[in-house]
Amino acid sequence: MPDWSYHPLKKLLLDKISPKASREFIHKSMSTIASIPGGRNLIGFLGHMKAPHEFQKDIHHIHYPSPIGLNGHIDPHLSGMNVFQELGFGFVEIGPIVLTEPEEQLEPRRKGNHIQFSEQLEKVPLRSALKKLIKHTIRIPVFARIDEQVNKEEWAIIVQHLSPFVDAFIGTSEQLTSCIDQKAFAFDRFFYVSFSTDEFDNNTIDLGKLLKNQYVAGVVLNAPHQSNGSYWHEIVNANESLIKMVTQFKEQYPELIILTSGGVETPNEAYALVHAGADLVMLTDGYVNAGPGLPKRIHERILYEEVHPMKEHSWHWSFLFGLSILFGGIIALYFAFTDVILPYDESFIGLSRADILQINPLILSFMSHDRMALAGTMISGGILYTQLARHGIKYGLHWTKIAFHSAAIIGFLGIFLFIGFGYFDWLHGIFWVILLPIYYFSFQEGKNAITPPYSVHGENDHLWKYGLYGQLCFILLGFLLLLGGLVISTIGVSKVFVSTDLNFLCMSPEILETVSANLIPVIAHDRAGFGSALISVGLLVLTLSLWGFRKGERWVWNTLCLGALPAFIAGIGTHLYIGYTTFIHLLPVYFLVLIYLLGLILSYPYLKKK
pLDDT tens, residue by residue, 113-126: 778 888 777 888 99
Residue 16 scores a pLDDT above 50? yes
pLDDT tens, residue by residue, 319-363: 999 999 999 999 988 888 887 888 888 888 888 888 888 888 888
Per-residue exposure over 233-243, b if at least 16 CB sit within 10 Å of its own CB, e if not = bbbeebbebbb
pLDDT tens, residue by residue, 60-107: 889 999 999 999 989 988 888 888 888 999 999 998 999 988 877 778
What CATH superfamily classification does 3-307 receive?
Aldolase class I (3.20.20.70)
Q: What is the pLDDT of residue 480?
A: 95
Q: What is the pLDDT of residue 183?
A: 52
Q: What is the mean pLDDT of residues 39-58?
A: 87
β-pair type (225-228, 68-70):
unpaired
Q: What is the pLDDT of residue 9?
A: 85
- What is the pLDDT confidence band of residue 184, given thresholds at 50, 70 and 90? very low
pLDDT tens, residue by residue, 452-480: 888 888 899 899 999 999 999 999 999 99
SS3 content of the chain, % helix, strand, coil (to 5): 60, 10, 30
Residue 187 scores a pLDDT above 70? no
Average of per-residue pLDDT values in the chain: 87
Q: What is the pLDDT of residue 384?
A: 96
pLDDT tens, residue by residue, 511-532: 888 888 888 888 888 888 888 8
Q: What percent of the chain has pLDDT over 90?
A: 37
Residue-range domain boundaries for the chain:
3-307, 316-452+460-608
Q: Which of 376, 350, 294 is nearest to 565 (CA)?
A: 376
- What is the pLDDT confidence band of residue 272, given thresholds at 50, 70 and 90? very high
Q: Which of 367, 338, 346 is nearest to 526 (CA)?
A: 367
